[in-house]
Structure formats: C-alpha cells, structure tokens
Amino acid sequence: MTTPIRGVLPNKLRYIIVPQKDSLTATVAVLVTAGSKYETKDINGLSHFLEHMCFKGTKKRPRPIDIASELDGMGARYNAFTGHEYTSYYAKVRSTLFLEALDVVSDLYLHPTFNKEDIEIERGVIIEEINMYEDNYPRKVEELFFELVYGDQPAGWSIAGTKENVRRLSREDFISYREKNYLPESTIVVIAGNVNVKRAEKELKKHFSLLEGGQKMEKKKVLELQKKSAERVYVKEFKQAHFMLGVRAFGAKDERRFALEVLSEVLGGGMSSRLFKKVRDELGAAYYIYSNTDLFSDHGLFTVSAGVDNKKVDIVVKAILAEMKLLKQKLVSRAELEKAKEHLIGGIFLNAETSDSLGYFYGGQEIMGMPLSSPDALAKKIKSVTAKEIREVARTVFQNNHLNLALIGPFKNRSFLDILKI
C-alpha cells in the first residue's frame, strides 16, 4: 500500500496526499479542529451551523446553487459533517476531475460570504434537522447518553445545538468563531486517490497558502466527575426500547485502545459476537445490538447499543452486564481471539479500498495529533493483543461506579439502577 506524503506549508497548514494509482476516483477533504467542544453554551451549535453556511455561497460562487450545480456537474459525491472535535468538508470525484473538486472545496472552506438572507433560511433547515434527530431514536439515545455521562460541559452538549441558539446566532457570531478556529495551524487538507502528486501539491499550495493565522480558540478539558452508576430514562410510548449502556474509557492515544477494540469485537463486533448470539439468536430480543469504542483526544467511552422488546429490557441489560463480567474473569479463548482480530483487521483493509475512506483514515489520525500509521501497522498492533491484555482492560473500564444507561421507552416512574451491577 502506498505511503502517504505529509507536508506543512509556511503558514503551518498541514496536508496529506495518499496516491492510489489503481483507483478510479479521488477525494479532496478539508478537516479543521472546530467542533462542538470548542463552543461555549451560548453558541452551542455554531460549529454545525457554520458548516451548513459554507455551502451557501462564496465570492466566486455567490449562490448555493452555484456550488451544488458545479459539483453535481462533476458527478461528485460531496458533503460535510461536524463532530465533537472537528469539522470536515469533502468531495469525491472520478480521478481526472480532482483539481476541479479541489477548487470548489477550497473555495467554500476559505471564502464563505455568510449572506444574511441565507442565514435566515438555513435556521429553518437546521431546526428541521434537529426535529429529525428527535425522531431518530438510535441517534437520540446516543445524545442522551453523552448528556448523562458528561453533563453540562461541551462534551455533553448536542453537536447540533439547541433550537434557541439556532434562532439567535448572528452573522457576527459566524465571523468571530471562524476567525478563532478556521486557521492554517488547525487545518488539514487531504487528497487521496489516483492523482499526480506534484500537481496536487502545487494546487493545494496555491489555494491554501494565503490562509492567515490567528489566536486559536482552546477547548476545555473534559471533566470526569462520575462516582456512581447513573441513568437517564426518556419516556416515549412505543413498542421498542432503545438504549445505550456504557462506561468511561480513555483517550485515542492510549496504547490500551487496541486491546479495547479487540474486546469490543469479541463482545459485540459482528454477527458471531457474544452479544449478537446471546441477545438476538438465543433471546430473540433485539434486531440490532452492537458494541463500540468512541475515543477522543482526552477521554473515551465503551458502549453497547440495542433496540429491544420493551418487556425484555431487564433481561437484555442483565445479559450484557453478565458478558462484561465474564470478560473480567476469564481469558478469551485463542480461537475467539483470532476471529475477533481478523474481523477487526478485515474492516480496516476493506475500508481502505476507496479514496474517501483511505483519505479519512490518515486525516483522522492527523487531526487527533497521532503519528500516521498504515493499515499494515495497525494490523500488527491488533495482532499483538493478548487475552490477558483484554482481561486487564476489561477489569479497568468495567467498573460499577462508571456504569451509565440512557434509555428511550414507555418507562414512566421506572428506574433501572438496581440492575446496573457487574
């Protein structure tokens, strides 16, 4: 697999070019350390709102239709997303059009105009997006889980923000926030696919060299305050309950992450995982159930998510906790360990086949301040994980005083704290 080319411009903007000579496509992506954790409560949701506004017009392409029509005319797949720690803009095109895609993506990132009329229109769009998330219960329960675990601090706030904030944010707020966050030292440009490396370097330098630096807004360190198990029950009358059960873990740079990821594969990483077999195949209690590691720059979570029959919530939660307890007590067998490792490694390599996935594979590492590791290097780390390391990390993170349950369902005046025990 091709080695990525990493460079830094004089203004401290970083770039990564990942050549894929056999690829039919190319992806241009810009990542910036500006997410909901960089917000204060009165501007919560601004990172996400700003992301929307970058598609609404630039000096060169003054109308939203100008941007959309040009990208559609390339046959591009394009979008943007905002997370807790960074925002990203991207376009994926057939490889012969990567320079045209770079021109558009760089323009909307560098030169948004924040037209007041467009801001007013987009308020309604984002409020409807928030309404949509309210009715998307697997997503809604994740938001409730973060609120439960982190409370009233940026890590616990909604990325989309509140409707009140969305209605109130002004053009001046966008300009001020952008000046403090969309800086060259906070920005990474990734180009991946079948591209001419020298041409790609020349063009990205032309577009991004003039981006001016400034004083970066700092994000507050996440406070870990939990001393006992906790729950959040969101009462909703329907037949299926959705829940997220989880514990605090550690940050993305912690070397124990490889053991935790393999543990996650064993517990709920596929159709042959312990939880899938127990909860779906044996109990017939859920359609979806899976475990996940969500590791950030200075904190992390290990969670299990499921949608289950209302009448079987207790039995499913108890089954999950029993499997967690078992991982603390007994070593994973050699056969199960190897299967979990291969499933995890296979996912990494399958994802690395496409230009967009490979670009974000390296861009994600860079934005988190980690050294760039190839799929082969990560596979080596995963293969080295032992059964004892899995048991040790289970004993570290599966603690009664760190258990959290967020639940949506028809459970008025009902608590589940009595069963939150490992």
Write the DSSP assignment of 291-339 as a string of letters: EEEEE-SS-EEEEEEEEEEGGGHHHHHHHHHHHHHHHHHSPPPHHHHHH
**Is the same domain home to 176 and 296?**
no
List Cβ neighbours of 226 (8 Å cut-off, separation of 6 or more): 149, 248, 401, 402, 404
Closest CA to 46 of 206, 157, 152: 157
**Is the same domain home to 403 and 267?**
yes
**Is the same domain home to 58 and 204?**
yes
The pLDDT score that the predictor gives to residue 231 is 98
Cα–Cα dist 57/66, whole Å: 8
**Is the same domain home to 267 and 351?**
yes
- 381-to-256, 341, 343, 344, 377 alpha-carbon distances in Å: 10, 10, 14, 11, 6
**Is the same domain home to 118 and 155?**
yes
- For the chain, list residues with pLDDT below 50: none
Domain boundary among 146, 178, 208: 208
The total number of structural domains that make up the chain: 2
Average pLDDT across the chain, whole number: 96
**Is the same domain home to 291 and 348?**
yes
What are the tens digits of pLDDT across the range 272-296?
999 999 999 999 999 999 999 999 9
CATH code for the domain in which residue 360 is found:
3.30.830.10
3-state SS, residue 391? helix
**Is the same domain home to 9 and 157?**
yes
Identified catalytic residue from 39, 51, 203, 265? 51
**Is the same domain home to 240 and 195?**
no
Is residue 349 within 8 Å of 375, Cβ to Cβ?
Answer: yes
List Cβ neighbours of 47 (8 Å cut-off, separation of 6 or more): 34, 35, 36, 38, 39, 82, 87, 159, 177, 181
**Is the same domain home to 270 and 307?**
yes
Instruction: Sheet with 286-295: list strands edge to edge.
Output: 230-235, 404-409, 240-248, 300-309, 286-295
Residue 49 located in a structural domain: yes
**Is the same domain home to 238 and 202?**
no
The pLDDT score that the predictor gives to residue 2 is 75
**Is the same domain home to 249 and 328?**
yes
pTM of the model: 0.95
Bridge partner list, 296: none
User: What SS3 string covers 91-103?
Assistant: EEEEHHHHHHHHH
51 is catalytic: yes
The pLDDT score that the predictor gives to residue 239 is 86
Residue 216 located in a structural domain: no
Closest CA to 20 of 352, 346, 372: 352
Query: If you compute the radius of gyration of the chain from its CA atoms, what whole number of angstroms results?
Result: 23
In terms of residue numbers, what domain contains 375? Answer: 230-419
Residue 360 located in a structural domain: yes
Residue 393 located in a structural domain: yes
Residue 224 located in a structural domain: no
